[in-house]
Amino acid sequence: MKPDLTPGVSAEIRFVVTEEMCPHFHGVMKHPVCATWTIVHQMELAGRKLLEPHLEAQEEGIGAHISIDHISPAVIGSEVVVRATATEIASRKLVADVEAYCADRLLARGRFVQIILPKARLAALFDENAPPASD
């Protein structure tokens, strides 16, 4: 990783909650609020936005951990801001705190971890774990 990624560096994304982002089970919307899995996805995106400018050309990040506490709802039409802030950086690891807000109200908070590997190592790892070719 490039040396400019240090604790305290952050990145954020914004999104507006749509009906498609609400929890649906068997084709039926259960609640008109942002689903937990949508918030997790958006936290992953914020974490990647934090990481990507700091990767060397031959490096790639791969998810190792994400955990969140979903504290408060965001109804359809709400604007949500998700921020990822680097808290720990090692030669092959980024740990970031992630938070989601609707105005000043905390919606969710958690932790995001990426492991940094050479792209060639990741390609080999994926090849090793690919299902056998069918005849």
* CATH code at position 47: 3.10.129.10
CB hemisphere CA count around 90 (13 angstroms)? 8
> Does residue 31 sit within a domain?
yes
Residue type, 125: L
> Does residue 67 sit within a domain?
yes
Element (H, E) at 121: helix 119-128
> Please, what is the Cα angle at 52 between 77 and 14, to 5 degrees?
10
pLDDT tens digits for range 37-55 = 999 999 999 999 999 999 9
> Does residue 124 sit within a domain?
yes
pLDDT tens digits for range 98-135 = 999 999 999 999 999 999 999 999 999 999 998 988 86
> Does residue 2 sit within a domain?
no
Residue 24 is part of which domain span? 10-128
> Does residue 3 sit within a domain?
no
Residues 107 and 73 sit within 8 Å (Cβ to Cβ): yes
> Does residue 5 sit within a domain?
no
> Does residue 42 sit within a domain?
yes
Strand partners, 69: 109
pLDDT value of residue 134: 80
CA distances from 108 to 43, 64, 65, 98, 117 (A): 10, 19, 16, 8, 29
How many domains are there within the chain?
1
pLDDT tens digits for range 5-43 = 999 999 999 999 999 999 999 999 999 999 999 999 999
Q: Kindly give, in sequence order, each residue whose CB lies less than 8 Å from that of residue 76, ignoring residues fewer than 6 positions away.
A: 17, 18, 19, 22, 32, 33
d(CA 23, CA 31): 6
